[in-house]
Amino acid sequence: MSIPSFGVGTFRLTGQTAIDSVRNALELGYRHIDTAQVYGNEAEVGQAIAESGVARDALFLTTKIWVDHYARDKLIPSLRQSLDKLRTDRVDLTLIHWPAPGNGVALAEFMTALAEAKALGLTRQIGVSNFNIALTRQAIAVVGEGEIATNQIELSPYLQGRKLTAFLQEQGIAVTSYMTLAYGKVLKDPVLMRIADKHQATVAQVALAWALQLGHAVIPSSTRRENLASNLLARDLRLDADDMAQIATLERNGREVDPTGLAPAWD
């Protein structure tokens, strides 16, 4: 299985807002939905899917295990609870949300439990999120080569992660980019604005197209139907070599998400 290159994220969306966003996304043609235990919206995502009429087999559904559930006796039960909330018997991808070094559960323990969840059929694929190179190597050593489907990491024109993404591509691990718009900070970038004007596109489309052309999957979110529709058009935008070279110059190590106690030592 491969990971669909374009999905919809649900970070920070709760209640009716989450239901409406997922419903709109499904109506517009999105078929890859990304959620997580800690988002507190798995039940709303499940409701939106159930009410959409879209067949479960037509969807690619991702959730992430929260750090409180990393212990071997907690991980699988927590995933079963997620499945109940999502109204499904399995997800397509389950990720370890953060490496959380020093939280008392060894990497080998939670990766082994994650592999067991796959063996039980609770998830079709497994992966990690926010892992650096060293931790990804450790995860591979536990579950085996070819078992980690993706590393979902923060990437944007301001945080391009070239060392980490090159390593992941060498390993055959897909890169999923989150926060591709850097909380909206890239939307006012003059370089991106010029490229957008050149292509009669939006800056958001340019940033998303940049990530897609590098071979990454993207999962932008929005509460506005028109933005969800507009973002999808990034799939049809082709940036030229000059565009990509200009965006490459925007690297500034502009990390937006770096929670103490959860994040690794970044590459």
- What 81-87 contacts at long range (C-beta under 8 Å, 24+ apart), as own/partner pairs, is 82/37, 82/42, 83/122, 85/42, 85/43, 85/45, 85/46, 86/35, 86/42, 86/43, 86/45, 86/46, 86/49, 86/61, 87/46, 87/47, 87/49, 87/50
Q: Would you call 178 a catalytic residue per the annotation?
A: no
Look at the chain and count its residues.
267
How many Cβ atoms from other residues are within 10 Å of residue 138's Cβ?
A: 17
- Exactly one of 39, 70, 158, 178 is catalytic; name it: 39
Q: Which two tokens stand for residue 173?
A: 């691990």
Give the residue numbers annotated as catalytic, written as ranges.
39
